[in-house]
Amino acid sequence: MSTPTFHNLLLRTAFSFMTCDGHIDKKEVVSIMQMAQNKHTFGDIEIDQELEKMLKKINLKGTEYLKDYFRKVHKAGLTDEEQLQIIQIAADVIYADLEVKEDEVKFLRVLRTMLNVSDSVILTQFPQLAKDFMWEDEFTDSYVQELYSNYFKNKEMPIFDVSDVMDITQDVLKDMN
């Protein structure tokens, strides 16, 4: 996968996990900003501008934005290493607010069905996921469809206040510089 496109997918992963529970915690925004500043996880993407665009899109599209994220992951043709990077981003955002929510568990389970890296490789790299996220499910087509349907069933996204998140982002950027 081309690097700029993969960087966008990584940022979209972070954003999707930040919003999948219907709440944006300041610690999640800080985590994303730290990934960008300290680790250059998202390449040269202007994080504050891109987060603002994503917030506007999710406010406009709601759960369709998250469904589109899954379609992009599924079609991306990711290597095992790239899949592990996606899982790393997801875990970092999930654990950023020190609270694992049911919607985050369900969202990660749906993401897991889009990836083909083995559970043993995932657990070797991320042993902390065993407690909250790993399972002995068989990923049949009907099971995957049911898992996907159950996550989005009756799921409505709130309208996120873009200015709140942008204020947090600006504060974080100031503190990091």
Integer Cα distance of 51 and 56 in angstroms: 9
Integer Cα distance of 98 and 143 in angstroms: 30
pLDDT in tens, the chain (177 residues): 656 699 999 999 999 999 999 999 999 999 999 999 888 899 999 998 999 999 999 999 999 999 999 999 999 999 999 999 999 999 999 999 998 898 998 899 889 888 999 888 988 898 888 766 655 555 556 666 676 777 777 778 888 887 767 676 666 666 655
CA atoms within 13 A on the CB side of 117: 21
